[in-house]
Amino acid sequence: MIPLLPCPLSAGWELVAHGVLPSKAADGRSLGGFSAAASDPTDGSLWLLSDREEPELIPIWDLAGLGQRPLRLGERLPLRSANGDPFPAPLDGEGLVLEGNDLWIVTEERRSADRPAQLLRFDRRSGHLREALLLPEAWRAAPGQGLGVNQGPESLTRLSGSPLTLLLAAERPLLQDRRDQLRLLTYGPAGFRPMGFLLLTLPAPHWGLTELLAPPGGGLLGLVRGFEPPASWWAQLLQLPVPGAAASVQANEVQAPLARWDLLVSGLPPDNWEGLALGAPLADGRPTLLLVSDDNFNPLQANRLARLAPRRQPGCRNGSVAALEGGDQGQ
């Protein structure tokens, strides 16, 4: 499989297509608040998680027509409690993984007893809740510790291999951690396991890690969003070390990004980009990424969908980089 990276790394990313999603469904319901995305390789669909008052998932097909014709939206899947009642609002879902008949969703911390950060498992056929897991003690709200309000977790991805292992990260440092370190956490058959820290300087309070993606074939990508009031946005893509890939990785180890790219330089419209998923390959064989923005149900924003592909210069074989250009490279 061709690696999902530019070659060389400094070549950056190409904005292949971009479009704005409908603001209303066919039945007149408002659409928006898309805070996470996951692709289904079995049928080529992209599933969007909406954190509206009645949380739901919306599938989209015909992504090859992005920017050329209206996208085809499928039937929504409302998320419900285990007994089938409407899920208590708001869900605050921020990360999504599709795995067989399961939907895994990570929810954001609000530092209140009734709204802790959780890892939730839903039935993909019915939308009913199957399991709710509290994050480890260090992540929970307590005086001087835990996730800050509205500061994650915002990311969730499935690591390659078997059995199922999920990776999530804090959007911003936990209250007890250094200001330039984000905690990483996996969930697998043995439960939660700390996976060290990502060394990442966030320029301002409204910057954060909003998504992770571990594409087939290896590697790990992270999406960083930045915001400055009243309406300035930034988006960066990071190449990250895969936690646990080396036997020496310890629970307290700190690892830095391997490369970093400014996506606005590639033409990505400035907006609240929160979702990151794997797209279908292009005709030339290059893999693609799908990015989704969250309009926060704000009429001044839009629900955008973008498709990116890694640029490849002559001399790159199967997309491989002959010699890395040093740490934290890119545009």
Hey, where are the domains in the chain?
A: 9-310
Q: What is the CATH number of domain 9-310?
A: 2.115.10
271-289 pLDDT, tens digit each: 999 999 999 999 998 999 9
Please count the other Cβ atoms lying within 10 Å of the Cβ belonging to residue 81.
13
According to the model, what pLDDT value does residue 246 have? 47
Asked whether the beta carbons of 167 and 212 are under 8 A apart, the reply is yes
Please count the other Cβ atoms lying within 10 Å of the Cβ belonging to residue 138.
16
Does position 318 have pLDDT exceeding 70, yes or no? no
State the average pLDDT over residues 67-80: 88
Query: Any idea what the Cα angle at residue 37 is, between residues 100 and 266, rounded to 5°?
Result: 135
Kindly provide the residue ranges of all beta strands, DSSP E only, lying in 42-188, ordered along the sequence. 45-50, 56-61, 72-73, 77-78, 93-99, 102-107, 118-123, 129-134, 155-158, 166-169, 181-188
State the average pLDDT over residues 193-203: 93
* Average pLDDT of the chain to the nearest whole number: 88
According to the model, what pLDDT value does residue 322 have? 43
230-267 pLDDT, tens digit each: 889 999 999 999 886 544 456 678 999 999 999 999 99
Please count the other Cβ atoms lying within 10 Å of the Cβ belonging to residue 174.
22
Percent of the chain with pLDDT over 70: 92
According to the model, what pLDDT value does residue 320 have? 57
Least confident interval from 23-32, 80-89, 156-165: 23-32
Q: Which residues pair with 279 in a beta bridge?
A: 288
Query: Which pTM value belongs to this model?
Result: 0.92
